[in-house]
Structure 1
Amino acid sequence: MRTLYFDCFSGISGDMVIGALIDAGADPVQMEEELKKLNMDEEYNLSWGKVVKNGITSTKFDVILTSKSDQTHEHSHSHEHEHSHGHSHSHGHEQSLGHEHNHSHVPHSHHGSRTYKQIVEAINEANFNESVANMSLAIFKKIGEAEGHIHGLPLEKVHFHEVGAVDSIIDIIGAAILIDQLGIESVQSSAIPTGSGHIHIDHGIYPVPAPATLEILKGVPIASNDIRSELATPTGAAITAVLARNFGSLPPMTVESIGYGAGTKTFENHPNVLRVIIGETQ
């Protein structure tokens, strides 16, 4: 069985998942084409390229919003992509290799905040294949239910920019497209380190893990570590919580490909990357 294993020794976020899958050999150009089915491509540019994180060559994936007028999403964009108030050391540990793939579109200022319902409709109307649609819908439902639980709202009333942000939509559906493209039949994961400390989000200063992330990780083994930073984002947590059948150490497998996806932050003592391992299990 073709198995994908998430080795989350430095946490997990949506952009780290996509970076790691590209690094493992998935085709980002085909993903970019598929994502055009959402009819949102004038709202963002995608970039990916090699970076070195503390000695490990990895792939950094970014969603760049095209509209400067959309200030509401700028905050959730940085929250989702792991900027927080931990100790982040970035002197000299990271160097960039190669060029980014930037595809310019006409800037468009119509992001607004999206509801859970609008996202579901957009996925259903996009004519993705069944596997991509099902994965994407299940991950969004997991985040929507967590946000609804915390804010005391039913799922259809959940209206929030953390998940509605374009970058989260791209990260989740993009991850589903790449997992489908790679022919993955089973997903497993290590326990998820969440980090510690505090982050600033839309509603104020919150403990790490953020309430939505912790809610999403109910039933998932959490690993403790003393890094004062947000290691698992809601998007990253939901991808593993929904897709992984087992959590634990690397299963016996014949390894076929390995990928490293870079996070935004750089830490002094370990590489801030997500490792994915793809191979055949019994």
Structure 2
Amino acid sequence: MPRVIYFDCFSGVSGDMALGALIDAGVSLDDLRAMLQRLGVGGWELHASREVRGPLAGTRAHVVAPEDHHHRTLTDIRALISGAPLPSAVVERSIRIFTLLAEAEARVHGTTVDQVHFHEVGALDAIVDIVGVVAGLDLLGVEQVFASPIPPGAGWVRSAHGPIPVPAPATLALLASVGAPVTADETPFELTTPTGAAILASLATFRRPPMRLRAVGYGFGARRMERPNALRVWLGDMDDETDVDQDRQDRTSAEHAGSGESSPVLLETNIDDQPAEQIAYVTERLREAGALDVWCTPIMMKKGRAGVLIAALVPADLEDRMVTILLRETTTLGVRRRAVERYVCARDIITVTTPLGPARVKRKWWRGELIGAAPEYEDCARIARERGVPLTTVYQTVMGRLEDASSVTGH
């Protein structure tokens, strides 16, 4: 059964509250520090202490960092994270959070993603908070994230731009971008910060899943309130017996309606005057922004010039964002588009136990029938490096064990 976590945001969510809750639920502070040190930036410290707030005992996490006047851009932060020797899932999730933050800031301030200069969330302590939360999820083996409705709070708060209303404009933009449910709680404080909103908007499905509960953690915020200023996390394993009907509905939806989404849009453009590394950067940007698939095809253009066709299959509601990326990041003068219909196999991920270590396998379903399976590259590559064996050997071992039903530990 896959490991899942539920963020129970009865008093909101912030980066430090999420970090404290994960530590309280079982993340080793030493392992977390070691993971964060891979970022290659110094000058910060991560502390955690057990506290009691009213009727609750929990953990207060606190990142100590010097005042940071460096207003980083998304490009700066992406380079910092992608250049660190972190697990691929930690890199991808962390960059996704900062990308969503940049898009929200751009909407609020009427500018573009590339021109956004992060202030509070670009500071070193905020970077450690966000990457720390993602690393904590990885250390716990969490595959799926869920969250409750969000209480945003009310009143006013200071920012680098001066006093702003609560919820902060970026917080509202983040929650609106994913249609997150919010509660009517009007406590006159900022209960949910932009960092907390970005983490959940990027990673979470807003519902409480059926699970077999394994641990509970409480993370405290800095503010003292009449009620506990705490975030609670429920850590457990997805209960397949309880969720079988929902799983069947999800598979049917995926097979017949493209995972329940409207028909995607195919965007295409031809390029013959940009170097390959810039084309690779464009495809990376499109994937980070939410493209369903991106590919490049060598083509012959006028006057015998070699070119490349960039194609992106994108959700209809992200079409404008994707077109903007193509027009800003390439030399093209236009982008072709057309709506397409598609058939989509349902997919799920299981964990296979092997003599070399556990590895995830993605399974493919069509109309209720299992028709294919493939080991996850990241897990196999990690095992190959750690064990010093060829990658092909790891693949063969995982596929061999997959046939043994007793080796499956999750669905």
TM-score scaled by length of structure 1: 0.81
State the partner residue of 1:39.
40
State the partner residue of 1:58.
58
Moved more, 20-29 or 112-121: 112-121
CA deviations over 1:213-262 (Å, ceiling 9, x no partner) = 000001111112131000000010011111112x13x3221100000000
Aligned letter for 1:262?
F
CA distance in 2, matches of 1:30, 1:251: 28
SS in 2 for 1:261: strand
CA distance in 2, matches of 1:154, 1:28: 37
Pair 1:277-2:234 in alignment: yes
Pair 1:265-2:265 in alignment: no
Among residues 158, 165, 168, which one is paired with 1:207 in the alignment? 165
CA deviations over 1:50-99 (Å, ceiling 9, x no partner) = 0111121110001111x3xx3xx4xxxxxxxxxxxxxxxxxxxxxxxxxx
In the TM superposition, what is the alpha-carbon distance from 1:157 to its structure 2 partner?
1.5
Pair 1:6-2:3 in alignment: no
CA distance in 1, matches of 2:121, 2:221: 19
CA distance in 2, matches of 1:161, 1:272: 25
Task: Tell me if structure 1 keeps the 8 A contact 2:218–2:231.
Answer: yes
Moved more, 144-153 or 254-263: 144-153
Pair 1:243-2:181 in alignment: no
Q: How many residues are aligned here? A: 236
- Larger Rg, first or second structure (1 or 2): 2
In the TM superposition, what is the alpha-carbon distance from 1:169 to its structure 2 partner?
0.3
Matches within 5 A, 1:1-282: 1-41=2-42, 43-65=43-65, 67=66, 70=67, 73=68, 112-218=70-176, 219-245=179-205, 247-248=206-207, 250-268=208-226, 270-281=227-238, 282=240
In the TM superposition, what is the alpha-carbon distance from 1:146 to its structure 2 partner?
0.6
- Identify unmatched segments of 5+ residues in structure 1: 74-110
In the TM superposition, what is the alpha-carbon distance from 1:185 to its structure 2 partner?
1.3
Aligned letter for 1:117?
T
Task: Tell me if structure 1 keeps the 8 A contact 2:15–2:126.
Answer: yes
CA distance in 1, matches of 2:217, 2:100: 26
CA distance in 2, matches of 1:45, 1:252: 37
Report % sequence identity.
44
In the TM superposition, what is the alpha-carbon distance from 1:153 to its structure 2 partner?
2.0
SS in 2 for 1:240: helix
CA distance in 2, matches of 1:236, 1:160: 15
Aligned letter for 2:170?
A
CA distance in 2, matches of 1:223, 1:20: 21
Aligned letter for 2:46?
L
CA distance in 2, matches of 1:127, 1:156: 25
CA distance in 2, matches of 1:126, 1:251: 33
Moved more, 257-266 or 197-206: 197-206
- Identify unmatched segments of 5+ residues in structure 2: 241-411
TM-score scaled by length of structure 2: 0.56
CA distance in 2, matches of 1:280, 1:161: 37
In the TM superposition, what is the alpha-carbon distance from 1:204 to its structure 2 partner?
2.0
In the TM superposition, what is the alpha-carbon distance from 1:161 to its structure 2 partner?
1.5
Aligned letter for 1:213?
T
